[in-house]
Amino acid sequence: MTLRLGDTAPDFEQDSSIGSIRFHEWAGDAWVVLFSHPADFTPVCTTELGLTAKLKPEFDKRNVKAIALSVDPADAHKTWIKDIEETQKTVVGFPIVADSDRKVSTLYDMIHPEVSATATVRSLFVIDPNKKIRLTITYPMSTGRNFDEVLRVIDALQLTDGYTVATPGNWKDGDDVIIPLTVQDPDVIKQKYPKGFRAEKPYLRLTPQPNK
């Protein structure tokens, strides 16, 4: 199954490190970062889950829940979590889905046969409170993810959901934003962008971030 931006994230019920989870029910009205791992007790994954645990305050500020997944069973997850907490000096406060039957991996197209016929690649999905997929990133097994980028994109998504703006390349929270080309009426521009704007080109108009 190929999932595209704007699709509804498939619901599922599956065992996890905290017991059985019904995904949509568990997500509630939060944003979700769902990310897969090739296997438990592997070095890159251990650092990624430790980093995610340490980012909990940042996720909480953005109303984001994290949930990981690998194809190992829940008992293995629980043992692995002890290793993560010991080596990464943190507390893993989010569930790890035990996808031993590959049900969720298949729903989310996380197994790429040319890489591995059984293990999930490093797929990551950002899902909004309406259960719509807003971002997909897939990394190779050997490359750890950049979670600063995940936070940056969530900031951009939440900003552009609330205001008629777009974000430029390398944008970070607090930087100027772009007035979309769909907004041309001068009166509408004055109303929507009271801080004013500068036009570097007729099609490139920058305005201060509206919620700052």
Q: Which residues contact 167 (CB under 8 A, 6 or more apart)?
A: 156, 159, 160, 175, 177, 178
How many Å apart are CA 5 and CA 210, to the nearest integer? 25
Report residue 210: phi and psi, to 5°: -70, -25
* 21-22/13-14 β-pairing: antiparallel
- 56 has catalytic annotation: no
For residue 35, what are the CA distances in angstroms to 135, 139, 180, 210?
Answer: 11, 11, 31, 31
Looking at 33, 45, 67, 150, which residue is catalytic?
A: 45
What is the SS3 assignment for 71?
A: coil
Residues taking part in catalysis: 45
